[in-house]
Chain A
Amino acid sequence: MGTGDAVKNLTIENLAKTYFDPFAGSQVTAIRDISLEVRAGDFVSVVGPSGCGKTTMLNMIAGFLPASSGQIRVDGRPVSGPGPDRGVVFQSFALFPWRTVLDNVAFGPKMRGIPKEKRHAIAREYLELAGLAHAADRYPNELSGGMQQRVGVVRALANEPDVLLMDEPFASVDAQTRMTLQEELTRIWQERRPTVVFITHDVAEAVFLANRVVVLSKGTVLADVPVPLPRPRTWHDLIEDEGFKSLSAQVLQLVRSA
């Protein structure tokens, strides 16, 4: 994404996060030591058992939480807080209920000072991409969960971030819709090639979407598994695919041993 040929890497170096739990009266380590490199245009899934620190890591990349030590850099610039270079898709969708779908998607461009007509054109283009053009003038609460999360994804994409951070975005939609959303996401990724860090606890989802699956355990990287499956990917093709099955089994083993 973005312009020019600059390489927009995401680099994580010796990241750690500890915080004081006033109720337990002790220091808690959420992330012990994570180093990770995500190349521009790559799609990396991060899996791990609950409590492994995957959501904490994402919140730190997004700039919502400060690091205790270590560093996160996007395109060479150290992360010091939230910013439009890192788009976030939330599990709870986090759409603005008082804005129409169109104005939700146009929010990022609006913050960049793009005039109304132009930002609406941008928003329409991205809604088109997700097959949502017909819903432009609806309010989020009038849409199904699956539709709302489509809006959540294109709202982040419309701001053309260097990195797209997705925190279990499909965890709260039903199973059929989830498969459709996963297929749509791979299609959009192939079309636009954003850099994606995708947090999930669903191993099949992680393998289906990513070029790489990073397994976290107890606040460190346990394994980094490449996924050389061909694209475009559909569940129809992959559900019986031997390569997909053995990769999923391998990642599942790692997660369960973690």
Chain B
Amino acid sequence: MKAVPAWLRLWSAYVRWTARWPALAAVVPFVPVVVLWAVVAESGIFPRVFFPGPMEVIRSFGKLMYNGILPAYLEDSVVRLAAGTAVGMALGIPIGLLVGLSDRAHKLLWPILLFFQAIGDIAWLPILLIWFGFGLGTMTFVIVYTVLFPIVLNTALGVRSVPLELHRAAQSLGATRARVVWEVVLPGALPNIVTGLRNGLGYGWRALIAAEMIVGTSGIGFLMFDARRAGSVVEIMLGMIVLGILWYIVDSWVLAPIERATGQRWGLVTR
């Protein structure tokens, strides 16, 4: 038997380790990225102030955690996003159901929805700043607005993708119109609703950071823009890294488990 090459044994060890600790699989791909970053920073090609290395960012992370600014800003951003998403879902799912279920509502509302969807989040900021000023009103509006459309459009799509036969089956088993909506249409549309939520959260998160930069008095977006004013590239980089990590956490701790428990479990989505 031929000896197994060392790199293959290494690979096999990696596969086994990541199977035991899945979190490891998310970290390992970043190792070469961080190493490259450190090498470029250490090489002195760019002035250190413009291009700090990983160690400076970690130190800055420690400092901002210690003085409480990062936790506070992080909380502000996450709470804004969560509240905006909750309102966006509370409005978006019923509108999506209506548009998906009623042909008349679809004819009336669809062009309007597409029109306003095109006026992206940031495009609203100038007029919102005049209406609501630099405050929570503007920020909330932008997030709700951004989250709303993907949820409405995907919910309507999901409602319309529920096979006619499932409506009929439920009705001939004695379900009333309202029961059909609750027992058939909503669960049938759920995989699409989750897709809408995923898109909405992604757009909403970006819109929030942009809004915080322009409107903000706190939050990760504000942290980054404030750091720019102070000329602190370290803190800007830290903000960017926090954004990426936070999204990864939302995806793997919130969205992916919902998807596994619904569409994938029921065989409605092929992975």
Contacts and interface: CB of A to CB of B under 8 A. Distances in A.
A62 interface: yes
Interface in B145-191: 163, 165-166, 168-176, 179, 183-184, 187-188, 190
Q: Give the dominant DSSP class at B's interface.
A: helix
B13 interface: no
B172 A96 contact: no
A111 B168 contact: no
Contact of B179 (A97, A111, A140): A111
B170 A107 contact: yes
A88 B169 contact: yes
Interface stretch (B48-56, B120-128, B208-216, B259-267): B259-267
A82 interface: yes
B268 A97 contact: yes
B165 A92 contact: yes
Contacts, number: 72
B172 A98 contact: no
B267 A88 contact: no
A189 interface: no
Interface residues of B, number: 23
A9 B49 CA distance: 89
A7 interface: no
Nearest to B176: A111
B173 A155 contact: yes
A62 B172 CA distance: 7
A82 B266 contact: no
A87 B188 CA distance: 22
Contacts of A107: 170, 173, 175, 183
B187 A94 contact: no
Nearest to A62: B172
B172 A92 contact: no
B262 A64 contact: no
B172 A82 contact: yes
A108 interface: yes
A87 B172 contact: yes
Contacts of A90: 165, 168-169
A98 B266 contact: yes
Contact of B169 (A83, A94, A98): A94
Given A96-B184, A139-B266, A141-B267, A159 B166 contact: no
B142 to A, nearest CB: 34
A63 interface: yes
A98 B187 contact: yes
A161 to B, nearest CB: 8
A115 to B, nearest CB: 16
A111 B175 contact: yes
Of the listed residues A86, A97, A155, the one surrounded by the most CB atoms of chain B closer than 10 A to its CB is A97
Interface of B: 163, 165-166, 168-176, 179, 183-184, 187-188, 190, 262, 265-268
23 contacts: A62-B172, A64-B168, A81-B171, A82-B172, A83-B172, A83-B174, A84-B174, A86-B172, A87-B172, A87-B173, A88-B169, A90-B165, A90-B169, A92-B163, A95-B169, A97-B267, A98-B187, A98-B188, A98-B266, A111-B175, A141-B266, A155-B173, A156-B173
The 6 residue pairs across chains A and B that have the minimum distance between CB atoms: A141-B267, A84-B174, A111-B174, A82-B171, A94-B165, A108-B173
Given A81-B171, A98-B188, 18 more contacts: A62-B168, A62-B172, A82-B168, A82-B172, A87-B172, A88-B168, A90-B168, A97-B267, A98-B187, A107-B183, A108-B173, A111-B176, A112-B174, A139-B265, A141-B266, A141-B267, A142-B267, A159-B174
Interface of A: 62-64, 81-84, 86-88, 90, 92, 94-98, 107-108, 111-112, 139-142, 155-156, 159
